[in-house]
Amino acid sequence: MEFFTQSFQWEGLVRLLIQVAAVLLCLTVHETCHGLAALALGDPTAKRQHRLSLNPLRHLDPLGTLMMLVAGFGWAKPVMIDPRYFKNPKAGMAVTALAGPVSNFLLALAALLVRGVVLAAYVLSEGSGLLGGVISFLETVAVLSVGLGLFNLIPFPPLDGSKVAEAFLPDRIYFQILRYERWGMVVLVLVLWTGLLDVPLAAAQQWVLQWLVQVGNLPYFALMGLLG
């Protein structure tokens, strides 16, 4: 038993658990905010289907969750939206779609701001192991949340970005796209498999994170100036 505990890669297990927890949080916030935006615009469908929930099991898509873990970009089970409840269906769909990626960017910023506070405590405590784990979790949340937000802004159906782009299209083209939207995910998975999006998505992710980290570090510098 002692040999097992010494040889088992506990550090790898902890990293995996942190990543899984971060993925669940990012996906749950994303989909819940879709539902909240739809409800605010008059559509109760997500509420009726119990999708306004912080229970991640209500939102998981197996393939999308796996992609988040493997590639850092993925998706959850789509929240059902009924545009007939909206005064302006196309605009309502665009706002509802945009709520998901925006929530991910805000979540990333919140995680990095909290990280700034925890990082100051970590330095002042001379390297607490528990605080180090919290920092790792917050950094993982920020990275994955930005990745999820950017990926979903791609203007290709059925991703959120397509709903935003479609709001500016003539009705004839809009309804034509809706007819073939169900095939979009098949095409998207094939494109992801080829790796064509890896470089531009990674570059965009790094650029956004650089800006967010600068803001997120403000609490750290403020606290270190006061207490350091």
Where helices occur in 125-227 by DSSP H, the ranges are 129-152, 160-166, 171-179, 184-194, 198-216, 218-227
What pLDDT score does 65 carry?
Answer: 79
User: Could you give the CA distance from residue 173 to residue 188 in angstroms, rounded to a whole number?
Assistant: 20
User: Could you give the CA distance from residue 28 to residue 42 in angstroms, rounded to a whole number?
Assistant: 21
Max Cα–Cα distance, the chain, nearest Å:
69
Instruction: Give which of 119, 134, 101, 113 is closest to 22, Cα–Cα.
Output: 134
Instruction: Give which of 94, 78, 63, 35 is closest to 182, Cα–Cα.
Output: 78
User: Could you give the CA distance from residue 124 to residue 131 in angstroms, rounded to a whole number?
Assistant: 11
Which regions of the chain are under pLDDT 70?
Answer: 1-10, 71-74, 171-185, 228
Half-sphere exposure of 95 (CA within 13 A, CB side): 16
Active-site residues, by number, are 31
What pLDDT score does 29 carry?
Answer: 95
What pLDDT score does 219 carry?
Answer: 95
CB 164 within 8 A of CB 91: no
Domain boundaries, the chain: 10-227
What pLDDT score does 8 carry?
Answer: 53
pLDDT digits (tens, 9 = 90+) for 60-94: 888 877 877 776 666 788 889 999 999 999 899 99
Terminal CA-CA length for the chain: 44
